[in-house]
């Protein structure tokens, strides 16, 4: 009688064990597939946002570079002191508009962008000290470009090159 029970129980246990193992593998594979799909969808959504952040930061850096900002902000008949305030206000407004981009770029990239902005502000302030407040904006522009040309390295170019390198790494 005991042998009869074993004849029925052992095959039933083997079928149960095989079913359990198959179901376990199936659930594991399904979980992995769902994780992969979620990761793919996340990348599909965040990659364009990250690329847009890099684009916006490069545009910010281009807009605050002395060659660009001096021409864009200068108005005929403007005094040096007014021009300095307009330049700094323009940089501040551009900066505030792009603050949220730090979420999408590396810490190193953000630090380089921040340093470039601070260096341009320092350049403007140092150059402003070398001209009289009642001088023309043209005088201040000339002094800013002179001081800028004396720099060993262009801070905006350094940051832009780093951002481009990061984008290349993201896309490769």
Q: Any long-range contacts for 148-153 (C-beta under 8 Å, 24+ apart)?
A: 148/66, 148/123, 151/123
Q: What is the pLDDT of residue 42?
A: 67
Domain contains 151: yes
Taking CA 130 as the corner, what is the angle to CA 119 and CA 112, rounded to the nearest 5 degrees? Answer: 5
Average pLDDT score, the chain: 92
Domain contains 1: no
Q: How many distinct structural domains can be found in the chain? A: 1
Q: What is the pTM of this model?
A: 0.78
Q: What is the pLDDT of residue 147?
A: 94
* Structural domain range at position 143: 49-171
Length of the chain as a residue count: 172
Q: Among 22-36, 78-92, 94-108, which is the least confidently predicted range?
A: 22-36
**Burial, 4: exposed, middle or buried (Cβ in 10 Å; 0-12, 13-18, 19+)?**
exposed
Domain contains 10: no
Residue pLDDT, tens place only, 70-95: 999 999 889 999 999 999 999 999 99
Instruction: Please tell me the distance from the alpha carbon of residue 141 to that of residue 148, in angstroms, as a whole number.
Output: 10
- Are the beta carbons of 45 and 104 closer than 8 angstroms? no
Domain contains 89: yes
Domain contains 11: no
Domain contains 157: yes
Residue 73, strand partner residues: none
Domain contains 27: no
Instruction: Please tell me the distance from the alpha carbon of residue 133 to that of residue 37, in angstroms, as a whole number.
Output: 61
Domain contains 23: no
């Amino acid at each position: 009688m005991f042998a009869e029970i074993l004849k029925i129980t052992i095959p039933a246990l083997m079928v149960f064990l095989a079913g359990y193992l198959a179901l376990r593998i199936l659930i594991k594979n399904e979980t992995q597939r769902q994780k992969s799909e979620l990761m793919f969808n996340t990348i599909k959504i965040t990659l364009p946002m990250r690329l847009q952040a890099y684009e916006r930061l490069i545009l910010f850096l281009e807009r605050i570079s002395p060659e660009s900002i001096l021409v864009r902000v200068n108005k005929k008949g403007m005094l040096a002191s007014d021009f300095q305030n307009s330049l700094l206000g323009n940089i501040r407004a551009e900066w505030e508009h792009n603050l949220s981009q730090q979420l999408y770029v590396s810490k190193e990239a953000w630090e380089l962008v921040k340093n470039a902005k601070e260096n341009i502000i320092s350049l403007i302030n140092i150059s402003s000290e070398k001209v009289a407040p009642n001088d023309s904006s043209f005088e201040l522009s000339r002094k800013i470009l002179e001081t800028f040309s004396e720099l060993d390295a262009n801070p905006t170019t350094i940051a832009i090159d780093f951002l481009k390198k990061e984008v290349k790494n993201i896309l490769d």
